[in-house]
Chains A and B, each alone.
Chain A
Amino acid sequence: MRIPDNYPQQLSDILDVHMSCELLPSRYCVNFLNIKEEFNRFFAELKLNRARIADFFGRSLPYGDNAAIAAIESFECRKNFKDAAKKLYGNKVKPLDINNLELDNYDLILINLEFGGLSDHGMPLWLNEKFRKHHKVFGYKYNLPHQAKPEGSLFYRSDDNEEINTLAEFNWYKHMVSHVHQGVKRIEREYLTLFDLNINY
């Protein structure tokens, strides 16, 4: 895809990959490298090394080629995103089997909160029952543009045209943080907000 001169050429390839998987060249795609950068910064702060990650609904996993990550297991039912992740990272990404989920097998657990706003994807409400004190667990959401105001966007669409209900997403968030009694630690970035779901505080 033709992109402005002041954008990195790499972005053109990323947009092409997403469009070939019938995904929109959306804000998420255009900011793929910015989101990746914010994840990289976050991983550096966590001091990850050869990490194994369990990811829930991480779309095309913008952080996938981070050198500190050895393996990713992804629970992503949306075929188009799954295809894009496969094209971007090949066999580094494996499907996550939530029927036999053992969180001790992972160094980091990431949960995209939009998961909760989607219907018909088998949202595992029991997920936070499996959190233990030694787990690094973070929820995250992709930030909407600054101008988007909540009253105008109860629903928004992910790039595969699935409607996300922000109210249901919020309920899922409340459920996921229900074990945290002293306020949720947030890490706010421009494109990404992360929520510490560890139960050790």
Chain B
Amino acid sequence: MYNFEENIYQSETIRDIRTAIYQGPGYFVIKDFLPKQAVKKIQQRWLSGEVDYYFDRFHKNTAVNFHTPNYLIKGANAGDRSYCINIWNQAPDDELHDIAIEANKIRNIVEGRPRYFATRNCDELVLQYRLSRTVSPGFAVKKHADFFEEFRPDPAGNHAFDPKRCQLTLFLSDYGKDYHQGGFHFVNNAGQELLFGRDVAVAAGDLVIWKYSNIHCVREVTALNDKTGFSRIIFPQFDNMAKDKLKEGAR
């Protein structure tokens, strides 16, 4: 199991994280969530060549269910890709799986949920994690706010207003070294647009926990290193799954 420092779960730390997210700038950076050596290993396994694992063709969020295998989303450029790994499937990379569970645990505590929420099929939401690499300019992820009553063309579930919800971004590459000019843009609680890496100090291995209902996008990436580009892991949760489970139970 991958365990980050247990200090992160102390109530003072959780209070500081919550204050930053809900009253402060809208995000909190957990520095060195992953040691540099672990980042390097993940880069080698996932970003340095073809991944030796079968990923299914693209599945729409609305179609994801407990029978959905892990799948690949290809982007505008051949190098743009997102490996989508469902927590209910066999892990293609045990270490990555553990890291995802640990990151999700921190989010759970911040959101006031049980530690292992969203890692069990019976939960109201179920976790997927996506290892994404962007190497091309333009919008990789269009500007939007989640859980803010906005229309979503392909939602992973209900997007009713829920300001408690957070998303996590685990950075796997460095602004200025692997990519520049663009990347993860985020509008903070004061309405200012920030570019992580340039306006907020983050490095590969840092985990950013941020308020999901703030406007955000990924755009204008210029890769300095085509293998890594702007690489990160995000952690969406699906609530269509509960309905799927209920339907199965009714059969």
Taking beta carbons and an 8 Å cutoff, which residues of A are in contact with B? 1-4, 6-7, 15, 19-20, 22, 24-27, 30, 145, 147-149, 151-153, 155-159, 161, 163
**Could you say which residues of chain B place their CB within 8 Å of the CB of A149?**
122, 124, 242, 245
Contacts of B148 in A (CB 8 A): 4
List chain A residues, Cβ under 8 A from B117.
152
Min distance, Cβ B88 to any Cβ of chain A, angstroms: 14
CA distance A161 to B15 in the complex (A): 9
Contacts of B220 in A (CB 8 A): none
Instruction: Tell me what chain B mostly uses at the interface: helix, strand, loop, or mixed.
Output: loop
Question: Which residues from chain B sit less than 8 Å from chain A, CB to CB?
Answer: 11, 14-15, 18-19, 22-23, 109, 111-114, 117, 120, 122-124, 148-149, 161-164, 189, 213-214, 239, 242-243, 245
User: Which of B11, B18, B161, B242 makes the CB contact (< 8 A) with A24?
Assistant: B18
Does B122 lie within 8 Å of A151, measured CB to CB? yes
Contacting pair A24 B164 (CB below 8 A):
yes
Question: What is the interface of chain A mostly: helix, strand, loop, or mixed?
Answer: loop
| Chain A: CB-nearest residue to B191 | A2
Query: With A148-B124, A156-B113 in contact, is A25–B11 under 8 Å at CB?
Result: no
Across the interface, do A27 and B22 meet the contact criterion of CB distance under 8 Å?
no
Given contacts A22-B18, A24-B164, contact A152 B123 (CB under 8 A): yes
Check B163 against A1 for contact (C-beta < 8 Å).
yes
Q: Given A6, A25, A153, which contacts B164 in the complex, CB threshold below 8 Å? A: A25
Q: Tell me which residues across on chain A come within 8 A of B214, comparing CB atoms.
A: 2
B19 to chain A: closest residue by CB:
A22
Are the CB atoms of A6 and B149 closer together than 8 Å?
Answer: yes
Q: Which residues of B contact A24 (CB under 8 A)?
A: 18, 22, 111-112, 164
In the complex, the 5 A-B pairs of residues with the closest C-beta atoms, listed nearest first = A157-B112, A4-B149, A25-B163, A152-B123, A152-B122
Q: Bound state CA distance, A151 and B249, in angstroms?
A: 14
The verdict on A161 contacting B149 (CB below 8 Å), with A145-B124, A147-B239, A149-B122 known, is no
